[in-house]
């Protein structure tokens, strides 16, 4: 970690400044140890006023000079520290963004990520720990030169006392680290219980389903379990602190006794006794600081090991393939005997899937929930790797293509789309550079003009009120229109529309499909839907059932076949006809 800091911009400057400050901090205790004793001896013996004044001035000026230097260097140190913290945070979030998608579903990995993030946030302080170790060595050597002239037994006593304390601290550090791992899992459970009170997305369910008491009871249960673990640890801490206090008192009793005997025997003067007392105290503190710095580094190394473990998690997807993909008029994406199991599952979400998607083809995928439709899209876009089989683009395994370049072939609109805490414009563009002409066309094509004109700051209005009271809370349909506009703006070769109109009313759905029809005329499009009205956009229909393709063909072919597709289509048609009839009857009654 220290080496990583050294290699960063401003890293060397930061280390040298902190090293200089550490050197000053190691010298100051010598002043406090020596000069009071010199003043006492001068007053009791030669009584030279000038020398007394020199000693007093030196004693008073030393901390002032030290503080002035600290203040002068503080601004630079903070600037370099912030620069390093920013660099490490960028590295961390970059790694998180490049991690394989499947790891987002692993509680253990996510708990490790949380602990690693805490380590990253305090990564720069590792310099303080290393320099604290160096400073304590310098201080210890300088103080030892005084203490050793008195009695080696005192040094031995202090060393024994500090070693005992350091060993106790090391054991506590190990235990604290183990407990932090245990409680991090409870922390995630507690967040799951309390996020319903913090996140506005849960506000309606919290009230209408009267979730308050239930979620609070879960929170209490998990919090008590977490507290029980920490209480047991704190009991051990208190016991350890009491034992350390006993050892310290025994050491001080022996030191005072030895020094008092030496003064009474005229071996040393009272002033020398003062110097020795201060020196023994400084020696003890320095030695304790030395061991404490070591134990601190040891504790940090446990956390840094976890950080290294997290940063070394293989990024199979992001690091595979270097070829540049091209999607031309003759391009074909092909699934060959593709099977897939989700991590930790024994069941296949897809089994022996074979299908081709040709350039400019409109493929509509229909099927019941859990039939493998969304899994198909996750594999197509390389969010997951197939468990078995291969996926090809123009005869080349898609894993041989550059990961980001390959994903740039797709313009997705997912059912569970996410809007960001930024302006409506930024939610569509998702970049700093804006093509205003294209954006205005997208607003028109995406039927967003009416919404934008109603907003206080037009398309610069913040989405959600999380950061800005003047923001707006989009309805489900409005949010979906923004997500659709995002895909249209980025205008990539292959559109993926996963239930793109799920939150729209029938009229808005019809208008959106009309717009889609114009937008994707010369594009490849994959539509995943429960509403078979989307079939009007499709050239070909694939009916997924239990992880495989049950039926495949045009609407006419599948309807004539009289299988699953016809049954689904007829049921939905019957529902819409019945709903329309009931609506007409209601209007007639009124």
Convert the pLDDT of each residue in 379-426 to its tens digit. Answer: 999 989 999 999 999 999 999 999 989 999 999 888 888 888 889 999
User: Does one domain contain both 348 and 276?
Assistant: no
Q: How many other CB atoms sit within 10 Å of the CB of residue 512?
A: 22
> What does the DSSP 8-state code read for residue 145?
H
User: Does one domain contain both 271 and 336?
Assistant: no
**Within a domain: 443:** no
pLDDT at 105: 76
- We report the CATH number of the domain holding residue 195 as 1.20.1560.10
Q: How many other CB atoms sit within 10 Å of the CB of residue 182?
A: 14
User: In a 3-state reduction of DSSP, which class is residue 367?
Assistant: strand
Domain tally, the chain: 2
**Within a domain: 82:** yes
**Within a domain: 318:** no
Q: Which domain holds residue 196?
A: 2-311
User: Does one domain contain both 280 and 361?
Assistant: no
Query: Is the pTM for the entire model greater than 0.85?
Result: no
User: Does one domain contain both 283 and 371?
Assistant: no
**Within a domain: 452:** no
Using CB atoms within 10 A of its CB, is residue 500 exposed (0-12), middle (13-18) or buried (19+)?
Answer: buried
User: Does one domain contain both 285 and 351?
Assistant: no
- Out of 311, 343, 361, pick the residue that ends a domain: 311
**Within a domain: 483:** yes
**Within a domain: 572:** no
Query: How many angstroms separate the CA atoms of 87 and 72, rounded?
Result: 24
Better-predicted residue by pLDDT, 588 or 561: 561
pLDDT at 151: 65
User: Does one domain contain both 286 and 357?
Assistant: no
- We report the CATH number of the domain holding residue 539 as 3.40.50.300
Query: How many angstroms separate the CA atoms of 55 and 58, rounded?
Result: 5
User: Does one domain contain both 277 and 385?
Assistant: no
User: Does one domain contain both 227 and 371?
Assistant: no
Mean pLDDT computed over 98-115: 84
**Within a domain: 588:** no
Of the candidate ranges 18-22, 48-52, 275-279, 346-350, the one whose mean pLDDT is the lowest? 275-279
User: Does one domain contain both 293 and 189?
Assistant: yes
Residue 161: partners with Cβ closer than 8 Å, 6 or more residues away = 247, 248, 250, 251, 284
User: Does one domain contain both 306 and 391?
Assistant: no
Better-predicted residue by pLDDT, 72 or 520: 72
User: Does one domain contain both 168 and 119?
Assistant: yes
Q: What is the pLDDT of residues 23-62, one digit of tens each?
A: 887 777 777 777 777 777 777 777 787 888 888 888 888 8
Encoded tokens for 208: 């209408």
**Within a domain: 453:** no
User: Does one domain contain both 370 and 257?
Assistant: no
């Amino acid at each position: 970690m220290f080496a990583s800091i050294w290699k960063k911009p401003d890293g060397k400057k930061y280390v040298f400044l902190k090293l200089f400050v550490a050197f000053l901090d190691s010298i100051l205790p010598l002043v406090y140890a020596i000069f009071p004793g010199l003043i006492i001896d001068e007053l009791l013996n030669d009584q030279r006023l000038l020398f007394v004044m020199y000693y007093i001035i030196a004693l008073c000026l030393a901390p002032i000079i030290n503080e002035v230097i600290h203040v002068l260097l503080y601004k630079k140190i903070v600037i370099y520290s912030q620069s390093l913290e920013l660099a490490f945070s960028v590295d961390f979030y970059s790694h998180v963004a490049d991690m394989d998608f499947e790891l987002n579903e692993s509680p253990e990995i996510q708990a490790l990520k949380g602990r690693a993030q805490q380590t990253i946030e305090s990564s720069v302080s590792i310099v303080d720990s290393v320099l604290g170790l160096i400073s304590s060595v310098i201080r210890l050597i300088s103080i030892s030169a005084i203490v050793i002239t008195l009695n080696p037994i005192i040094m031995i006593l202090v060393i024994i006392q500090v070693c005992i304390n350091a060993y106790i601290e090391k054991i506590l550090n190990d235990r604290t680290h183990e407990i932090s791992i245990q409680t991090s899992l409870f922390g995630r459970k507690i967040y799951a219980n309390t996020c319903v009170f913090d996140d506005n997305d849960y506000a309606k369910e919290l009230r209408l389903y009267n979730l308050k008491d239930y979620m609070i009871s879960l929170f209490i249960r998990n919090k008590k379990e977490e507290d029980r673990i920490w209480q047991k640890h704190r009991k051990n801490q208190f016991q350890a602190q009491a034992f350390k206090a006993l050892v310290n008192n025994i050491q001080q009793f022996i030191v005072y006794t030895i020094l008092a005997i030496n003064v009474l025997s005229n071996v040393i003067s009272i002033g020398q006794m003062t110097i020795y007392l201060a020196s023994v105290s400084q020696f003890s503190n320095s030695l304790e600081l030395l061991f404490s710095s070591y134990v601190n580094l040891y504790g940090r190394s446990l956390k840094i090991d976890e950080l290294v473990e997290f940063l070394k998690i293989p990024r199979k997807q992001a690091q595979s393939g270097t070829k540049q993909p091209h999607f031309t008029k003759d391009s074909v994406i092909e699934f060959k005997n593709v099977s897939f199991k989700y991590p930790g599952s024994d069941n296949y979400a897809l089994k022996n899937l074979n299908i081709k998607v040709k350039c400019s083809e409109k493929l509509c995928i229909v099927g019941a929930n859990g039939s493998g439709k969304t899994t198909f899209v996750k594999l197509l876009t390389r969010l997951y790797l197939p468990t078995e089989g291969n996926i090809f683009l123009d005869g080349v395994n898609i894993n041989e293509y550059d990961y980001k370049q390959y994903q740039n072939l797709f313009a997705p609109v997912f059912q569970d789309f996410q809007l960001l805490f930024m302006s409506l414009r930024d939610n569509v563009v998702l970049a700093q550079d804006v093509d205003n002409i294209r954006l205005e066309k997208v607003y028109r094509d995406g039927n967003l003009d009416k919404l934008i004109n109603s907003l206080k700051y037009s398309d610069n209005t913040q989405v959600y009120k999380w950061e800005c009271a003047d923001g707006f809370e989009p309805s489900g349909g409005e949010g979906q229109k923004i997500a659709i506009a995002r895909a249209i703006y980025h205008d990539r070769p292959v559109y993926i529309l996963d239930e793109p109109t799920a939150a729209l009313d029938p009229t808005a759905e019809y208008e959106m499909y009309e717009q889609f029809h114009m937008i994707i005329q010369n594009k490849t499009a994959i539509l995943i839907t429960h509403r078979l009205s989307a079939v009007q956009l499709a050239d070909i229909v694939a009916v997924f059932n239990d992880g495989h393709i049950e039926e495949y063909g045009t609407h006419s072919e599948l309807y004539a076949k009289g299988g699953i597709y016809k049954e689904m289509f007829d049921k939905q048609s019957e529902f819409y006809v019945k709903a329309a009839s009931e609506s007409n009857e209601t209007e007639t009654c009124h």
